Amino acid sequence: RKILATYDNVTMLKVLLSAHELREAGGGEIITL
């Protein structure tokens, strides 16, 4: 379960980074949950 939790954390981090990159690229209409 610890491995799964780590995987979830990495996935969430990638999602946050992707959202940040899109916002930096000028897609400022992204809604953050």
**Do the beta carbons of residue 23 and residue 30 sit within 8 Å?**
yes
Per-residue model confidence (pLDDT) at position 27: 56
Whole-number pLDDT of residue 31: 54
**CA 17 distance to own-chain centroid:** 5
Largest CA distance in the chain: 38
- Asked whether residue 26 carries a pLDDT value surpassing 60, the answer given is yes
| Whole-model pTM over 0.75 | no
DSSP sequence for 4-33:
HHHHHHHHHHHHHHHHHHHHHTT-TTPPP-
Averaged pLDDT of the chain = 73
